[in-house]
Each structure stands twice: as structure tokens, then as C-alpha cells.
């Protein structure tokens, strides 16, 4: 067993994990780690969830896959549920976030094409991350992710994130723009949270300019911010919405949702997927949503987020190494004053798995079911790491 036959695209930790329970992972080094990244915002119900495990096993014994040639009752049920919680009537199911975004881009383009507008441009945000397919790496200003993969997909115009004025100027300057596409809270970009009111104003702006509003909630969606979707903190609704990560708690599934009026553009033959929305994935998605609705996981995330924020403030407010603590619900970022790749290993030593994004932002996406005591452990370890990092840097 080695890395010799794997394509070398990840800088991996040396540890591997053999099992998990709740927020805890057991490493092949025999140690237990508190998982503060949840498989990158995926395992919101924690690891080894008995009800989910049973549903998956039951479904695997009945029917895993059929393709989309026949009707798939579980897929129809999941689409009903997603329509209910999002207010967007139609769903297309995928196996990943990037595929959900591809679907969103294709749908936005086709919507305008059916109205006689070809080759529209799509306004995207600087610092955005939408996935690793060619269209997704094109829909950002991140040159690092595009380098070597040219020609990139055309038609994406980046503007400052969260800056309504910049968006309005861009819309005025470029009448070819047909959609604005962004994350309501940027994840990979450093947990960037726009001011409350931004989305509602953006909605009004898009309506005035007759452009579609596409929200990427692949990371922020499914309860993480304290609502089913982050856009629901404001009185507005997008035309197209994507989700994925936490929808299956680790079983690969994503969805592109759209309003009836926009989804209408898709007709048989316009789009498809062999695996997308298969019975196994949809059973997992349905089970996740059932559990979350029953246990008010969104409410838990909101309360946990508030408690955690207070714990972090208590230890880190005014800390000379910290430039900002931000987030919503249990989507939390702690920005340090300089790049801090060392923090990951420091936290591992102290039994916590976390992630650093955009060089200097400690990103915490713990399972939403984390207990108060576990949050306290996490806050203590993170604060100790920041102290340690700061001391080592000063030395
Ligand atoms: C992770 C992520 C994606 C891509 O999802 P994959 O499942 O990795 O393809 C897209 N958008 C956002 C906001 C993400 O965080």
C-alpha cells in the first residue's frame, strides 16, 4: 500500500482514518481526532450515524441503481422535499457539487437561448470556488486553478464579492450579462460573509436588469448556517440554487434546483447523468433531510454557532495574531495576520482535524451535531494553536 499508483493531486496527511463516531475519527495511528472539517462540510450529522447507515444498507439490498430511463420514486420524493425546503420547484440530481454547477451554468445559458439570446456572459465573484471541472475553474478569478488548463471556458466575468455597486456597474457596462452566480457565503475563499441585506438587494438588482440569480450553496447549504439554505437568512429567493456536500452526509449526491419558469428551458435530451439521482443516493439524501427536519439540525447549528462564536471571542478577541473571526452558524473562519500552514499539523498533534484556506484562514466546519463540551474542546485547541503559532513566529 502506497501513494505510488495514485495521481498526485493532493497534499495528504500521513494519517488515514479507519472509523468514525459522531464528531470523532479513529486514526490508523490509534489516536482519536475531533473532526472539525467534516470531510469538507459533508458529514454534518457526524460519522457512523446508525439511522443513515441502516437506510443505506437497506437500500443497497433492495436497489442501488437503475439509470434515469425508468422513473425513480425515491428521486421524485427527494425532489419534492427539496422543493418544499427551498421554494424552488424543480431538481436535477448529480453526483457532486461541480456537476450541479455545470447544470446551473448550462441551464442559465439555455434559458436565455430560448429567449433569443446566445452566448450570454455570467458575472461571478472574485475569490469564488465552484468546483474543478473546466467550466467551474473558469468561473472564478483564481488563476492558480486555471493555470495550464487553457483554453478555459469563456463567458465568465469576475467582480468583487459582496460589492453591490461593483455588480451594478458591471451589469450596466455589459448588457450581455445574463446571470449573476455566486456563493452566498464563500467557503474555499475564506468564509467570506457579506452583510445581511446583500442578497435581497442583489435579487432586486438582478430583477431590474432581467438577469438570473444563481446561488452556489454546495458548501453553505443543508443547515450549516442555521437555516436549510444560507439565502433563507434574507427575504429573497434565487432562480437557480445548487447544493451537494452535506446532502448525502458522504454518499455522493448533488442537486441543481430551479424555479419552474427557469427549469422549463430544459427539455428531454438537453442534459443528463448516468448515476445522478440513483436510488441509493436519493435514499441517503431523503434520510439526511428527515433526520435534520426531525432533530431541527438547522436550529442546532444556529445555537451551536452562537455558542462557539462566544467561546472563540473569549479566547481570541483582540489576539495579536488574529485579524478577524467570522462566519454564520457552524461555518466559521478565523483569519490570522499571516499565512499559517503550520496550524494544521499543530492541531493534529492536539487531536483536532481542521483546515486552512486562502493561506491564512483557519476554517472550521464541524458536524452540526457537535456537543457543547466538544465545541469547548475545539475552541480551546484552536486558541492554543493560535497562541503557539504566534509565539513560534515571534521567536
Ligand atoms: C466543494 C464546492 C464545490 C464543488 O463540489 P465538488 O463536490 O467537490 O465537485 C462547488 N461549490 C462550492 C461552494 C464548494 O464548496
Tens digit of pLDDT at every position of the chain (395 positions) = 899 999 999 999 999 999 999 999 999 999 999 999 999 999 999 999 999 999 999 999 999 999 999 999 999 999 999 999 999 999 999 999 999 999 999 999 999 999 999 999 999 999 999 999 999 999 999 999 999 999 999 999 999 999 999 999 999 999 999 999 999 999 999 999 999 999 999 999 999 999 999 999 999 999 999 999 999 999 999 999 999 999 999 999 999 999 999 999 999 999 999 999 999 999 999 999 999 999 999 999 999 999 999 999 999 999 999 999 999 999 999 999 999 999 999 999 999 999 999 999 999 999 999 999 999 999 999 999 999 999 999 88
Question: What DSSP designation does 184 have?
Answer: S
Query: What count of residues does the chain have?
Result: 395
CATH number of 33's domain: 3.90.1150.10
- Of the three residues 262, 294, 326, the one that is the final residue of a domain is 294
Asked whether residue 106 is domain-assigned, the answer is yes
The answer on 126 and 220 residing in a single domain is yes
Residue 57 inside a domain? The answer is: no
Judgement on whether residues 189 and 263 belong to the same structural domain of the protein: yes
Kindly tell me the burial class for residue 382, based on how many C-beta atoms sit within 10 Å of its own C-beta (0-12, 13-18, 19 or more): buried
- My answer on whether 135 and 190 are in the same domain is yes
In this structure, is residue 39 part of a structural domain?
yes
The residue segments making up the domain with residue 131 are: 63-294
Q: Whose CA is nearest to atom 5 of ligand 1?
A: 97
Of 39, 94, 97, 130, best ligand 1 pocket probe by most atoms within 8 Å of the beta carbon: 97
Ligand 1 pocket mutation, candidates 245, 253, 331, criterion most atoms within 8 A of CB:
245
Task: Assess whether 216 carries a catalytic annotation.
Answer: yes
- Please say if 149 is a catalytic residue: no
Residue 395: its pLDDT value, please? 83
Q: Is 4 annotated in the active site?
A: no
Last residue of a domain, which of 267, 294, 321? 294
Contact 177, 212 (CB under 8 A): no
Cell numbers representing residue 129 in the block: 470556488
Number of domains in the chain: 2
Please give the distance, rounded to the nearest whole angstrom, from the Cα atom of residue 332 to the centre of ligand 1.
Answer: 17
Q: Same domain for 161 and 199?
A: yes
Atom of ligand 1 nearest to the CA of 186: 13
Same domain, yes or no, for 198 and 143? yes
Question: Residue 119 falls within a domain, yes or no?
Answer: yes
Characterize the bridge pairing of strands 17-21 and 24-27.
antiparallel
The alpha carbon of 343 is separated from its chain's Cα centroid by a whole number of angstroms, namely 22
Catalytic residue among 156, 161, 216, 237: 216
208 and 120 both lie in a single domain: yes
Q: Which of 279, 294, 309 is the last residue of a domain?
A: 294
Is there a single domain that holds both residue 111 and residue 144? yes
CB 232 within 8 A of CB 253: no
Name the region of 116 (left: φ>0; alpha: ψ -120 to 50; beta: rest).
Answer: left
Closest CA to 383 of 364, 358, 359: 364
The answer to the question of residue 103 being in a domain is yes
Question: Contact 206/180 with Cβ under 8 angstroms?
Answer: yes
- Ligand 1 centroid–CA 283 distance in Å is 21
Whether 129 is in the pocket of ligand 1, judged by its Cβ within 6 Å, is: yes
Q: Is residue 26 part of a domain?
A: yes
pTM of the model: 0.98
Burial of 337 (0-12, 13-18, 19+ CB in 10 A): middle
Q: Does any domain span residue 54?
A: no
Same domain, 139 and 189: yes
Does one domain contain both 27 and 92? no
Residues 148 and 209 in one domain: yes
Closest listed residue to residue 289, CA positions, set 322, 319, 241, 255: 255
Residue 133 sits in the same domain as residue 28: no
156 and 69 part of one domain: yes
Distance of CA 129 from the midpoint of ligand 1 (Å)? 7
Amino acid at each position: 500500500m502506497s501513494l505510488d499508483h495514485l495521481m498526485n493531486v493532493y497534499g495528504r496527511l500521513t494519517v488515514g482514518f479507519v472509523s468514525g463516531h459522531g464528531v470523532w475519527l479513529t486514526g490508523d495511528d490509534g489516536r482519536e481526532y475531533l473532526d472539525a472539517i467534516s470531510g469538507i462540510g459533508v458529514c454534518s450529522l457526524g460519522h457512523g450515524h446508525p439511522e443513515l447507515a441502516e437506510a443505506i444498507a437497506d437500500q443497497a439490498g433492495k436497489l442501488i441503481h437503475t439509470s434515469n430511463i425508468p422513473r425513480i420514486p425515491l428521486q421524485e420524493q427527494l425532489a419534492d422535499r427539496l422543493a418544499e425546503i427551498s421554494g424552488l420547484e424543480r431538481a436535477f440530481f448529480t453526483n457532486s457539487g461541480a456537476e450541479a454547477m455545470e447544470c446551473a451554468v448550462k441551464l442559465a445559458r439555455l434559458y436565455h437561448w430560448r429567449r433569443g439570446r446566445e452566448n450570454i456572459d455570467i458575472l461571478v465573484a472574485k475569490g469564488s470556488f465552484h468546483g474543478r471541472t473546466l467550466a467551474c475553474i473558469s468561473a472564478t478569478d483564481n488563476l492558480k486553478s486555471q493555470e495550464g488548463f487553457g483554453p478555459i471556458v469563456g463567458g465568465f466575468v469576475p467582480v468583487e464579492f459582496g460589492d453591490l455597486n461593483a455588480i451594478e456597474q458591471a451589469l450596466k457596462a455589459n448588457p450581455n450579462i445574463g446571470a449573476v452566480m455566486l456563493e452566498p457565503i464563500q467557503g474555499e475563499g475564506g468564509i467570506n460573509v457579506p452583510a445581511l441585506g446583500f442578497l435581497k438587494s442583489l435579487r432586486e438588482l438582478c430583477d431590474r436588469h432581467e438577469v438570473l440569480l444563481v446561488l452556489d450553496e454546495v458548501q453553505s447549504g443543508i443547515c450549516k448556517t442555521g437555516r436549510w439554505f444560507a439565502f433563507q437568512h434574507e427575504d429573497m429567493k434565487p432562480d437557480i440554487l445548487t447544493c451537494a456536500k452535506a446532502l448525502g452526509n458522504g454518499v455522493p449526491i448533488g442537486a441543481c434546483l430551479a424555479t419552474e419558469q427557469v427549469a422549463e428551458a430544459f427539455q428531454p435530451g438537453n442534459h443528463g447523468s448516468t448515476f445522478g439521482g440513483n436510488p441509493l443516493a436519493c435514499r441517503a439524501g431523503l434520510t439526511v433531510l428527515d433526520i435534520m427536519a426531525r432533530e431541527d439540525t438547522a436550529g442546532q447549528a444556529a445555537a451551536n454557532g452562537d455558542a462557539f462564536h462566544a467561546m472563540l471571542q473569549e479566547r481570541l478577541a483582540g489576539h495579536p495574531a488574529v485579524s478577524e473571526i467570522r462566519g454564520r452558524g457552524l461555518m466559521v473562519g478565523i483569519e490570522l495576520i499571516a499565512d499559517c500552514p503550520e496550524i494544521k499539523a499543530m492541531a493534529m498533534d492536539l487531536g483536532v482535524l481542521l483546515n486552512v484556506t486562502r493561506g491564512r484562514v483557519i476554517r472550521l466546519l464541524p458536524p452540526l451535531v457537535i456537543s457543547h463540551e466538544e465545541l469547548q474542546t475545539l475552541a480551546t485547541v484552536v486558541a492554543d494553536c493560535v497562541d503557539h503559532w504566534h509565539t513560534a513566529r515571534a521567536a
